């Protein structure tokens, strides 16, 4: 039986400032009305049953993933949680181990959750070819024919002939079904990329794979014996927390694909980009006569090749710029040469080293119960806009260092304050003294909005003592 393994634990740091550690790009609506994760699941309709679709992600993303997949009827038990990110080989190996316990003949479609793909019909046809090849015990990778000498992708060199099973060529008519892979290559410099681009034996490494779970685990046993030994100790999801810290981080490419002798490549017959950097978006959005792209309120004067992506409300103006990417959010602005978009990751690492919060969260922070936005803060005060989803409630909590004043903007809030429970309607308010147990709850069918004014000597998010919590934090 076919199973999808969707990798959804990455941070997407090259997509900063839109992508943050606590809200990575796979959960964002970048193109269209679906998030990248949701679009990945939608592409599998009719190919993989929802009950056979697994998503592996970090612990901290559980409730976000759960909320995003509700409409697809994927069971919560199919969300596999990593305590820490260990790169792709352990993640895929873990899913292979758990799924193979249910189905020894399982064929896994391993798909990242942050790709943009057109021609979904051709995408499914390509996967069906890969599945046919994988049933013959090959590790199959989907190769993308390069459209430019990109330095942002790894490359794969294939053999001149189509892959054979014994004396039989795996071909469909005049179209080669599969190629034998000679070598996986790292992201090249520009000179090498230009050589690869001219050579028909080279493909981009898409990071999409198809294989039998049993065959992949055999290769893990051969090339990553320590990982295999640890995976053998995981018989259920309950074993993951105690075993996972012992596992070393390594990618599927480094650990398996660069070493295995049973790898085949299926050429992709569809448009693909991994949205690995801002420059990737410049290929997708429409341009004006001067090559400018805009998804915000923009005025360009004598600018060419300028790409503006905005999430804020302000006007963005440019004069005489050329080949620049501008990404604007309410709390951070990126201005970058289009040829340097791969280096945004270095900028994020710099922010981490300086302990700046902008790499981690937006001004609007998502929570399992909804979200909050910091509107203003200063010495001794902080003002937030809180939005609570229908049927959700915050934890029963108290604060040692701050008091809170809530003004209901829309809807009706059920408020617990000490021993008192009140319904607070729109245009009404309530005060919560420092040290008093309290809780906010939305009993309605639409989201409610509340303006919260915090006052006190210490106003950070870690000043929370929880007593009851629906989300087990």
- Which pLDDT does position 334 carry in this prediction? 96
Residue 340: partners with Cβ closer than 8 Å, 6 or more residues away: none
Whether residues 403 and 434 fall in one domain: yes
The answer to whether residue 392 sits within a structural domain is yes
Whether residues 339 and 404 fall in one domain: no
Beta pairing partners, 365: 372
Sheet architecture: strand order including 396-398: 420-424, 413-417, 438-442, 396-398, 465-468
Whether residues 110 and 233 fall in one domain: yes
The answer to whether residue 358 sits within a structural domain is no
The answer to whether residue 303 sits within a structural domain is yes
Per-residue confidence at 466, pLDDT binned at 50, 70, 90?
A: very high
Per-residue confidence at 167, pLDDT binned at 50, 70, 90?
A: very low
What are the φ and ψ backbone dihedral angles of 264, each rounded to 5 degrees? -125, 155
Per the CB < 8 A criterion, the answer to whether 425 and 440 are in contact is no
CATH value at residue 139 = 3.90.550.10
Q: What is the mean pLDDT of residues 119-130?
A: 94
- Which pLDDT does position 131 carry in this prediction? 94
Q: Which of 15-24, 216-225, 445-454 has the lowest average pLDDT?
A: 15-24
Per the CB < 8 A criterion, the answer to whether 126 and 270 are in contact is yes
Q: Which residue, 276, 305, 322, sits at the end of a domain?
A: 276
Domain tally for the chain?
3
Q: Which of 13-22, 120-129, 297-306 has the lowest average pLDDT?
A: 13-22
Distances in Å between the Cα of 196 and the Cα atoms of 99, 162, 213, 280, 303 are 37, 19, 32, 19, 32
Whether residues 286 and 268 fall in one domain: no
Domain with 16 in it: 2-276
The answer to whether residue 354 sits within a structural domain is no
Q: pLDDT at residue 172 above 50?
A: no
Whether residues 39 and 87 fall in one domain: yes
Q: What is the mean pLDDT of residues 224-240?
A: 96
Whether residues 338 and 375 fall in one domain: no
Residue 94: partners with Cβ closer than 8 Å, 6 or more residues away: 56, 80, 82, 231, 234, 240
Cis peptide before 187 (omega within 30 of 0): no
Whether residues 234 and 180 fall in one domain: yes
- Which pLDDT does position 391 carry in this prediction? 94
339: three-class secondary structure by DSSP: helix
Determine the distance from the C-alpha atom of residue 10 to the mean position of all C-alpha atoms in its chain, rounded to a whole number.
Answer: 5
Per-residue confidence at 160, pLDDT binned at 50, 70, 90?
A: low
User: What's the mean pLDDT when you consider all of the chain?
Assistant: 92
Whether residues 32 and 50 fall in one domain: yes
Whether residues 286 and 261 fall in one domain: no
The answer to whether residue 355 sits within a structural domain is no
Q: What is the mean pLDDT of residues 229-254?
A: 95
The answer to whether residue 386 sits within a structural domain is yes
Q: pLDDT at residue 270 above 80?
A: yes
Determine the distance from the C-alpha atom of residue 425 to the mean position of all C-alpha atoms in its chain, rounded to a whole number.
Answer: 38
Output 342 or 163, whichever has higher pLDDT.
342
CB atoms within 10 A of CB 25: 23
Sign of the CA dihedral 247, 251, 252, 257? negative
Per the CB < 8 A criterion, the answer to whether 123 and 130 are in contact is no
Query: Which tens digit of pLDDT belongs to each residue from 357-416?
Result: 899 888 888 899 999 999 999 999 999 999 999 999 999 999 999 999 999 999 999 999
Say what angle helices 225-232 and 88-102 make with each other, to 10 degrees. Answer: 40
The conformation of residue 256, written as its DSSP 8-state character, comes to I
Per-residue confidence at 142, pLDDT binned at 50, 70, 90?
A: very high
- Which pLDDT does position 174 carry in this prediction? 45
Q: What is the mean pLDDT of residues 415-427?
A: 95
The answer to whether residue 313 sits within a structural domain is yes
CATH value at residue 368 = 2.60.120.10
Q: How far apart are CA 187 and CA 205, in angstroms?
A: 10
What percentage of the chain reaches a pLDDT higher than 90? Answer: 77
Whether residues 306 and 167 fall in one domain: no
Per-residue confidence at 10, pLDDT binned at 50, 70, 90?
A: confident
Q: pLDDT at residue 173 above 50?
A: no
Q: pLDDT at residue 177 above 80?
A: no
- Which pLDDT does position 162 carry in this prediction? 62
Q: pLDDT at residue 253 above 70?
A: yes
- Which pLDDT does position 176 carry in this prediction? 53
Whether residues 322 and 258 fall in one domain: no
Say what the pTM is: 0.87
- Which pLDDT does position 363 carry in this prediction? 86
Q: pLDDT at residue 136 above 60?
A: yes
Query: Which tens digit of pLDDT belongs to each residue from 317-338?
Result: 999 999 999 999 999 999 999 9
Q: Which residue, 276, 293, 314, sits at the end of a domain?
A: 276
Per the CB < 8 A criterion, the answer to whether 367 and 466 are in contact is no
Per-residue confidence at 312, pLDDT binned at 50, 70, 90?
A: confident
Q: How far apart are CA 60 and CA 156, in angstroms?
A: 34
Q: How far apart are CA 163 and CA 339, in angstroms?
A: 37
Whether residues 333 and 433 fall in one domain: no
The answer to whether residue 102 sits within a structural domain is yes
Q: Which residue, 261, 276, 291, sits at the end of a domain?
A: 276
Q: How far apart are CA 81 and CA 60, in angstroms?
A: 9
């Amino acid at each position: 039986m076919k199973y999808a393994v969707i990798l959804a634990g990455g941070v997407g740091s090259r997509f900063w400032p839109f992508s943050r550690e606590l809200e990575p790009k796979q959960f964002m609506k970048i193109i269209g009305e679906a998030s990248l994760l949701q679009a990945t699941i939608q592409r599998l309709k009719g190919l993989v049953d929802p009950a056979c679709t697994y998503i592996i992600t970090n612990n901290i993303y559980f409730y976000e993933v759960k909320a995003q997949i509700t409409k697809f009827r994927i069971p919560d038990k199919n969300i596999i949680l990593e305590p820490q990110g260990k790169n792709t080989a352990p993640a895929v190996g873990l899913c292979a181990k758990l799924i193979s316990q249910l189905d020894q003949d399982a064929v896994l479609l391993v798909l990242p959750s942050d790709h943009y793909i057109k021609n979904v019909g051709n995408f499914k046809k390509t996967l069906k070819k890969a599945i046919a090849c994988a049933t013959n015990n090959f590790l199959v990778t989907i190769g993308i024919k390069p459209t430019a000498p990109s330095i942002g992708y790894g490359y794969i060199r294939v053999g001149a002939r189509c892959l054979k099973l014994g004396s039989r060529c795996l071909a469909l008519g005049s179209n080669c079904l599969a190629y034998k892979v000679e070598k996986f290559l790292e992201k090249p410099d520009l000179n090498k990329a230009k050589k690869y681009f001219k050579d028909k034996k080279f493909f981009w490494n898409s990071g999409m794979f198809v294989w039998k779970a049993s065959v992949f685990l055999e290769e893990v046993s051969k090339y990553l014996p320590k990982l295999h030994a640890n995976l053998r100790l995981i018989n259920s999801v309950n074993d993951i927390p105690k075993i996972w810290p012992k596992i070393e981080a390594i990618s599927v490419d480094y650990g398996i694909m660069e070493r295995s002798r049973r790898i085949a490549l299926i050429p992709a017959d569809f448009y693909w980009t991994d949205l690995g950097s801002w420059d990737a978006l410049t290929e997708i959005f429409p341009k004006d006569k001067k090559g400018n792209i805009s998804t915000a309120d923009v005025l360009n004067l004598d600018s060419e090749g300028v790409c503006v992506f905005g999430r804020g409300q302000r006007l963005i103006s440019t004069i005489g710029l050329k080949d620049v990417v501008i990404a604007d959010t309410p709390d951070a602005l990126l201005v970058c040469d289009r040829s340097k978009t791969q280096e945004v990751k270095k900028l994020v690492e710099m922010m981490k080293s300086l302990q700046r919060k902008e790499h981690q969260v937006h001004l609007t922070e998502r929570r399992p119960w909804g979200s909050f936005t910091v509107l203003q803060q200063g010495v001794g005060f902080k003002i937030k806009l809180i939005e609570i989803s229908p049927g959700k409630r915050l934890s029963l909590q108290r604060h040692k260092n701050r008091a809170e004043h809530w003004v209901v903007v829309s809807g009706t809030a059920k408020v617990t304050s000490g021993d008192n429970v009140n319904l607070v309607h729109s245009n009404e308010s309530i005060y919560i003294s420092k040290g008093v147990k309290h809780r906010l709850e939305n009993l309605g069918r639409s989201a409610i909005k509340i303006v919260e004014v915090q006052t006190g000597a210490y106003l950070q998010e870690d000043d929370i003592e929880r007593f009851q919590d629906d989300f087990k934090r």
